Chain A
Amino acid sequence: DSGVTQTPKHLITATGQRVTLRCSPRSGDLSVYWYQQSLDQGLQFLIQYYNGEERAKGNILERFSAQQFPDLHSELNLSSLELGDSALYFCASSPQGNRGTEAFFGQGTRLTVV
């Protein structure tokens, strides 16, 4: 158990809908990362927050947004869902958000868009 909690574990929704994925980082970790894992794209970095502020942005679609709250949990919002958004979404956390820091991954949320 990495100490990173993601909910829900599975999510099935229809095209055009909006969903929210939630992540609770390990106790004491200030930085949260979101990654998308799909068969065709592999593991892709989406976005990083550090202590409530956005630190880095990857290939995150405009339909997707995230935030980190004062209690350090994070949410990833996915809207106007398309079939191609079906993927495993991972959250990770680290004590600091610097280069080279070890990241601890949650078990992921499997999103299926039908």
Chain B
Amino acid sequence: AQSVTQPDIHITVSEGASLELRCNYSYGATPYLFWYVQSPGQGLQLLLKYFSGDTLVQGIKGFEAEFKRSQSSFNLRKPSVHWSDAAEYFCAVGATGSSNTGKLIFGQGTTLQVKP
């Protein structure tokens, strides 16, 4: 079965420091990959997605992610974190199977805390 692993449950970084959130997926072929962010009391907002092509994808709010097939990873990065980036981040993979569904399989999430 497909799965997504986010090894870090909680990460704390200082404002202005760089950020990398890890995501590993299990799936044989090229997956559809997503990063979502959830701010307190809010729904999930799509940061970026990867379907094919250039393995480095740019998203909103200055985020980027790199797809590495050899490592089954899709890590999220930001060069300089702002206090407003404090939130929970979810990596997700588009499900496969007999039905063509837009179902997403989510990782457990990483909570980002930003120190002033």
Same complex origin of A and B: yes
* A74–chain B nearest beta-carbon distance, Å: 14
B contacts with A: majority SS: loop
Max chain B CB contacts within 10 Å: which of A43, A45, A105? A43
**How many interface residues does chain A have, given as a range?**
20 to 34
Do residues A31 and B109 form an inter-chain contact, with CB atoms below 8 A?
no
Contact B43 A99 (CB under 8 A): no
Binds B, one of A62-70, A79-87, A90-98: A90-98
Whether A33 contacts B103 in the complex (CB less than 8 A), given A42-B109, A43-B109, A99-B95, comes out as yes
Number of interface residues of B (CB under 8 A): 27
Most chain B CB neighbours (cut-off 10 Å) among A44, A100, A104, A105: A100
Q: Tell me, yes or no, whether B17 is within 8 Å of chain A by CB.
A: no
Of B18-26, B44-52, B63-71, B78-86, the one touching chain A: B44-52
CB pair A102–B49 under 8 Å, yes or no, is: yes
Tell me the B residues contacting A by CB distance below 8 Å.
32, 34, 36, 41-46, 49, 51, 90, 94-97, 99-109
A interface residues with partner B (beta carbon < 8 Å): 2, 4, 31, 33, 42-45, 48, 55-56, 58, 90, 92, 94, 96-108
